[in-house]
């Protein structure tokens, strides 16, 4: 009887141990996830293959772009955020292809795909010793502009590779629900 009871206790202990291991171990996704390199607006954030420095953040209601020689105004249901960044490669030439805007609530906005034809957008090829400027353009809800994080990585599945995480800091929101510095139309045809 005692033996049986002891067996049952042992079994239960093993089950709870296994469950505890399963529940507490990091998941595969966490293990192979990107490795963050953190910084603030204006800092140079150094990753494994590239460096990035976010210079300015601008907000606009519309963007003016050139498409095949025509001027075109791109509207949005939210607000455009344009981040001007400077990239540099470290030891060898590389390509930086992916950027997202993570709002305060965790909503993640990928770079817009509506300007695929414009200059100075990702993907950007960078070479060591030749820093290059680029624009990261996002289409956001206006309530996601404040305390956001800019995520930049070389490729989409940046498993076990660096991802720059740049805190963009608080942004005041005006009475119209937009940041006070929001311009009506931002000209993307201007050189960066």
Partner 1 sequence: MPGWPAHRAERKWCPRMLENAGSRLKAWLVAGIGTAAAIAAAGVMGAFGARHEPMPVLAPASRIETGQWLLRPLKAYSADGENLYGVPLKPGAKALVVELEMTNRTAKSTKDYFDVLQANQATIDPATKPFIALTRDSTLSPELHPGMPEKMAYIWQLPDGATLPAKLELTVVRKTYKQRDNLYGLPGWFNPAPVGRLTLPVGRGPDTADIQP
Closer residue to partner 1 in complex, CB, 95/100: 100
CB nearer partner 1, residue 51 or residue 139: 139
Question: Smallest distance, Å, CB 187 to partner 1?
Answer: 17
CB of 57 to partner 1, least distance (A): 17
| CB-CB contact of 41 with 168 (8 Å) | yes
Nearest approach, Cβ of residue 100 and partner 1 (Å):
7
Answer whether 154's CB lies under 8 Å from 98's CB. yes
Nearer to partner 1 by Cβ, of 75 and 190: the residue is: 75
- Shortest distance in whole angstroms from residue 92 CB to partner 1: 29
Which is closer to partner 1, CB of 93 or CB of 105?
Answer: 105
> 79 is written with which tokens?
């607000």
**Smallest Cα–Cα separation from 132: which of 72, 66, 170, 88?**
88
* Of 115, 107, 104, residue with least CA distance to 82: 115
Can you tell me which residue has the tokens 């353009």? 137
Q: Of 80 and 87, which CB lies nearer to partner 1 in the complex structure? A: 80
Q: Provide CB contacts within 8 A for 42, sequence distance 6+.
A: 53, 54, 55
Smallest distance from the beta carbon of 113 to partner 1, in angstroms? Answer: 4
Between residues 40 and 71, which has the closer beta carbon with respect to partner 1?
A: 71
Instruction: Give min distance, CB of 88 to partner 1, in A.
Output: 27
Enclosing H/E stretch for 3: helix 2-24
Residues in the chain: 192
- Binding-site ranges for partner 1 (CB under 8 A): 27-29, 72, 74-78, 100, 106-110, 112-114, 139-141
103-134 as b/e: b if 16+ CB within 10 A: beeeeebebbeebeebebbbebebeeeeebeb
């Amino acid at each position: 009887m005692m033996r049986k009871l002891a067996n049952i206790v042992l079994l239960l202990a093993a089950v709870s141990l296994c469950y505890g291991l399963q529940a507490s171990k990091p998941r595969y996704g966490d293990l192979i996830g990107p490795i963050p390199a953190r910084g603030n607006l204006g800092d140079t954030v150094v990753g494994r293959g590239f460096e990035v420095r976010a210079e300015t953040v601008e907000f606009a209601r519309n963007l003016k772009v050139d498409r095949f020689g025509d001027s075109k105004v791109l509207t949005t249901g939210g607000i455009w955020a344009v981040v001007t960044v400077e990239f540099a490669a470290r030891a060898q030439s590389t390509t930086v292809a992916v950027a997202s805007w993570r709002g305060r609530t965790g909503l993640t906005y990928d770079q817009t795909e509506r300007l695929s034809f414009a200059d100075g957008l990702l993907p950007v090829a960078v070479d060591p010793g030749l820093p290059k400027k680029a624009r990261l353009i996002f289409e956001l809800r206006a309530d996601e502009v404040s305390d956001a994080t800019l995520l930049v990585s070389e490729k989409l599945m940046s498993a076990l590779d660096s991802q720059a995480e740049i805190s963009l800091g608080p942004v005041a929101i005006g009475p119209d629900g937009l940041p006070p510095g929001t311009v009506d139309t931002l000209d993307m045809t201007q050189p960066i």
